[in-house]
Structure 1
Amino acid sequence: MIETHDVALTSAEHDFRVRVYPAPDPGGAMLVWLHGGAFMFGTLDMPEADQVGRRLSERGITVVSVDYTLAPLGALDAFGPPPEESDVSPEQIRAEAAAAGPRARFPVPSLQTVAAFDWAVENAVRYAADPARVSLGGASAGANLATGAAMRLRDRARRDRGATSPRFLALVYPSLHDGILEPNDETAGILRDVPAGRLFTPEIRSVINRNYLPDGDDPHGYAFPGGHDLTSLPPTLIVNAERDSLRPSGEAFAAELARASVDVRVVRQHGAMHGYLSEIGAPAAERTLALLEQAISQA
């Protein structure tokens, strides 16, 4: 059983915390991990956060899971009612979301991600990890935050040669562009069979993104990295869900990284839908955890 502990931090004038999953048999690598949730949902206890932390720490990687400040609930109505098969009522969703505490839009979560990375580097030796082997990663909106923070850290390293940057970037079903990218014919055909409640439409994505970054002003790409300067980012693993309307973003971003001369590996989890890391024991989740462990351990 992994014994976790929480650490209180402050960044961008907002308190937040990280949950540390110390590896019982550390292999020297550390991962700063961010859950998803459309920037306004998610907790450290959801499987997408907790399962990743526990499973990777069991495999020798100390994980620092970030409880970043969530965005306001202004986009909540865009999601509509939960799927019919869900046992969670709309009232429960609203109650749980409202219990998250103070909220803030970009750039607060992005700056907190940088602060969490810096804390991990400063404390890596305490967990028998190498400060030069601290990676960044996340799922969905968390993958967006991890990438934006990696860009901030890259730019900081360009100004200060002694500054530490992530060793590796691990992105699972990421949302990296400001909007839904048009799928090709093959992808569009696959998405036609996905329940409507499991897909992000252009309208929903627009509401979510404007809730996070109201004016859309993003000159450096720290909010939505796609289409911006990606040179000098760390080697990257992108794992996409096949039956996900965000998959074109992950695939396009992989191509952008390759054009920027960044080492990138892109994997498609066949048959999987968005959010599968919260399905404990699901084949796609198991395969992805194995990919994360291998990539981060060897980085």
Structure 2
Amino acid sequence: MPGLGGPSVRTRQYGPRLGSAESMAPLLWVHGGAFIGGGLDQNESHAVALGIAATGRPVITVDYRLAPAVNWLKPLAERDLKPGTRYPAALDDVSAALQWIANRAPHVVLGGASAGAALAAATVLRNRDSGGFRPDALALAYGTFHSALPEVSPALRRRIRGWHGITQFRPSTVDRMNLNYAGSHAALTDPYAFPGNADVTGFPPTLLLDADRDSLRSSGEKFRDELTSAGVHTRHQVVPRSRHGFLDRPGRSAYDIGFETIIDWLASHDPEKS
């Protein structure tokens, strides 16, 4: 599909033909991958889309432009950034895909996981401020919404201690990931890069789905509080005994719980049920 003033955007469509199932709003789903990885074939994109489309809902997944790879073990400064595509390229691609669908369907829901959840929320924020299309609802899984990792609560710290802490996102890791995506410290403060801490008044009803043993849950919890304070209808659910990226692991109980929660949320926000 056409890009937003740039190259064309690669997408994949699942389920009923767009516009043929008026009672079910199509879903635009955005994969994760720390802004540097993932794609249309990863389970977090393909398996989720297949399952949702099997309920009769059109699903479109988007292959947005990725930032260059980063060394997670080394400190990162602006001068160390590799040449490549960065913010707002990925955001432009998601925005273009949403507008393309909105031109063909009166109602659209938007969702994503991890970096994809951040991109989905940022798309809503930018569209709100520019007068663009507003999706009917949001479904966001284990997102990273803030430019820096918010303080981990004592309750969450208890869930990620011991061997559960080995693979966690640490503040320094999040700093590298986000600077690598944003491209500069100045861009890190742009709310369209990371919508956490922004005024989210006017957001559509939002599902926040977090992993039990995931330090990034601190971002989901803070974003929940920001949405609630802005008067946005928000549901926050933590999947028990789960780790970050559980939608990338079909066949496990955490995937099943997360998937069914998203299905129920989408069904409750179809136009005829609103």
Fold match (TM-score > 0.5): yes
**Secondary structure at 2:26 match in 1:** strand
Question: Is 1:205 aligned with 2:186?
Answer: no
Q: C-alpha displacement at 1:220, in angstroms? A: 5.0
Question: Is 1:14 aligned with 2:15?
Answer: no
Distance 1:123 1:257 in 2: 29
**Quick one: which of 201, 204, 207 aligns to 1:237?**
207
**Which amino acid is the alignment partner of residue 113 of structure 1?**
V
Map of 2:99 onto structure 1 = 118
**Which amino acid is the alignment partner of residue 44 of structure 1?**
L
Question: Quick check: 1:12–1:108 contact (8 Å CA) kept in 2?
Answer: no
What TM-score do the two structures reach when normalised by structure 2? 0.88
Q: Deviations over 1:260-283 (max 9, x none)?
A: 011100000010000010111111
Distance 1:50 1:167 in 2: 23
What TM-score do the two structures reach when normalised by structure 1? 0.81
Q: C-alpha displacement at 1:105, in angstroms? A: 0.4
**Secondary structure at 1:287 match in 2:** helix
Identity of aligned residues (%): 35
Distance 2:109 2:103 in 1: 13
**Which amino acid is the alignment partner of residue 173 of structure 1?**
Y
**Which amino acid is the alignment partner of residue 69 of structure 1?**
R
Question: Quick check: 1:29–1:60 contact (8 Å CA) kept in 2?
Answer: no
Distance 1:164 1:273 in 2: 33
**Which amino acid is the alignment partner of residue 56 of structure 1?**
I
**Secondary structure at 1:78 match in 2:** coil
Q: C-alpha displacement at 1:9, in angstroms? A: 3.1
Map of 1:169 onto structure 2 = 138
Question: Quick check: 2:9–2:97 contact (8 Å CA) kept in 1?
Answer: no
Distance 2:84 2:14 in 1: 25
Map of 2:218 onto structure 1 = 248
Map of 2:87 onto structure 1 = 106
**Quick one: which of 118, 123, 126 aligns to 1:152?**
126
Structure 2: which 5+ runs fail to align? 75-82, 270-274
Q: Give the number of equivalent residue pairs.
A: 257
Distance 1:220 1:103 in 2: 19
Distance 2:244 2:185 in 1: 24
Question: Quick check: 2:164–2:213 contact (8 Å CA) kept in 1?
Answer: no
Distance 2:163 2:52 in 1: 30
Q: C-alpha displacement at 1:198, in angstroms? A: 2.4
Question: Quick check: 1:14–1:108 contact (8 Å CA) kept in 2?
Answer: no
Q: C-alpha displacement at 1:197, in angstroms? A: 4.8
**Secondary structure at 2:104 match in 1:** helix
Distance 2:114 2:9 in 1: 20
Map of 2:35 onto structure 1 = 39
**Secondary structure at 2:3 match in 1:** strand
Q: C-alpha displacement at 1:287, in angstroms? A: 1.3
Question: Is 1:288 aligned with 2:258?
Answer: yes
Map of 1:127 onto structure 2 = none
Distance 1:154 1:138 in 2: 18
Distance 1:71 1:79 in 2: 17
**Quick one: which of 45, 55, 59 aligns to 2:55?**
59
